[in-house]
A and B are shown apart, each in its own frame.
Chain A
């Protein structure tokens, strides 16, 4: 990628050779756990997180006291001390957190994998618990009655203009994406409709039993033009936890392991938290391109080998944009790829977000997408793709991001 702003080609840094990448084949996801997904959990985020962790440990066939590593989202209010105190853990020797909201999702797996591959920890749990519907909603900005100063130059350059909410930030990229490539609302609507179809087969989904048509999509309320209500994910209360260990230990555990071929992070130059309008191209997601290039490099896999994908989908345009950045189609072709929906449906070229994704299953900051990526490997999805060998999951967008590529173990 050539960056006209810096007059430099990326990546410039010398990366370790793919042979030196010790995560590949040696680390696996062996447990997934979750609470119910709802509009009002009726309990604390700490409790949600601990319930999901217990469920994931049980799913793996482990005992809770065997957990010796924890990786959290920086944005998560449930810190390691809460988890250790509630679950009575005594052997946690590795803990840390990953930044950038949903960009942290697959990054937690990378950080856990690094600990496992280097012998720092045996069983690392990654978790995210949030009362995002009944508690603090990201889409709502609290209005203060007194004059207040923005917390930093980033917000100080947005908020005085009322550029205040996640849908508006993604809408800014979307306007440009539609302008440059002629993407249409109907093409974005197809994403929304297909993901709702998947959700209607998934009893755990927030929108189970509530199908929508393209007409419903077009008629849904405009939130921040050009984004409608059905372009936006579903605010959710709930938690998800994932257990990571070595592929060798995985052999003695309960589930078919989802072996990591790669776990990567990406960060773009001239970026900001969801408002990277200053860089040369805003109709794409450079962070995703970095994470993708690194993923294909360390795994040795090509995009066309992937059987099923869970793309971070806080908003519909992010799926066509990622299809491009991850190399499933050319630049500007993502929206056309989604048109009509057949290529992302079951039986299509690349079934996407088969649990319903953030748009229709639940919005647990990318972690429920990892669970679904694992279920596709195990053969237990409610929209199971046949003979899955390779399953891709991606992390939050418009922010420094992350990705994992899983293979059947």
Chain B
């Protein structure tokens, strides 16, 4: 199982900039990190230059436990309303991590029928192409 990619239509690659480079560099090494404010400790995702709570620009990369729960999800079932490079059906999930932040991602194997809001998950890394690794999720025991 898992997502089926359509050959000849590559996935759009993540955009890296000053603010998010550390996130994607870690993903490539199969590590999940989130931006943490050095002043007040607030963890945010997506990465950004300034802490919205204390306005500090001093930030660091905090390792994530890699665990969370499905917060919401959608099932792409109609190809014309989907990403052309991925065969339907496929699921996109929002995972609420134990660190409190949320991530947009995919399930590694599970289909829409197998998942539910609140389902416990952990991160896995999918090496899709030479230059593309994505953090995805799989079901774990509660």
Given contacts A168-B92, A222-B77, contact A141 B102 (CB under 8 A): no
Task: Determine which of B15, B90, B105 lies in contact with A156 in the assembled complex, contact meaning CB atoms within 8 Å.
Answer: B15
Residue of A nearest to B118 (CB): A179
A-side residues, CB < 8 A to B, are 5-7, 139-165, 167-168, 171-173, 175-176, 179, 221-226, 269-270, 275, 277-278, 282
Q: Is the CB of B52 within 8 A of A6?
A: yes
Residue of A nearest to B90 (CB): A162
Number of A-B residue pairs, CB cutoff 8 Å, is 150
B-side residues, CB < 8 A to A, are 3, 6, 8-17, 19-20, 45-47, 52-53, 71-78, 80-86, 90, 92, 94, 101-102, 104-106, 112, 117, 129, 131-132, 134
Given contacts A143-B9, A147-B131, contact A278 B45 (CB under 8 A): yes
Q: Is the CB of A277 within 8 A of B72?
A: yes
Q: How far is the CA of A294 from the CA of B85 in the complex (A)?
A: 43
Task: Determine which of A6, A141, A179 lies in contact with B53 in the assembled complex, contact meaning CB atoms within 8 Å.
Answer: A6
Residue of B nearest to A142 (CB): B84
Residue of B nearest to A225 (CB): B75
Q: Is the CB of A156 within 8 A of B94?
A: no
Q: How far is the CA of A164 from the CA of B12 in the complex (A)?
A: 10
Given contacts A145-B8, A148-B13, contact A277 B94 (CB under 8 A): yes
Q: Is the CB of A277 within 8 A of B104?
A: yes
Task: Determine which of A145, A159, A165, A172 lies in contact with B81 in the assembled complex, contact meaning CB atoms within 8 Å.
Answer: A165
CB distance from A362 to the nearest CB of B (A): 20
Q: How far is the CA of A144 from the CA of B10 in the complex (A)?
A: 7
Given contacts A161-B134, A163-B104, A224-B77, contact A179 B13 (CB under 8 A): no
15 residue pairs of the A-B complex, CB under 8 angstroms, read A5-B52, A148-B12, A149-B14, A154-B46, A156-B16, A159-B11, A159-B83, A162-B11, A162-B83, A162-B106, A163-B92, A168-B82, A172-B92, A175-B74, A277-B104
Q: Is the CB of A160 within 8 A of B12?
A: yes
Q: Is the CB of B74 within 8 A of A224?
A: yes
| Chain A residues with CB under 8 A of B86 | 162
Q: Which of B45, B47, B104, B105 has the most CB of A within 10 A?
A: B104
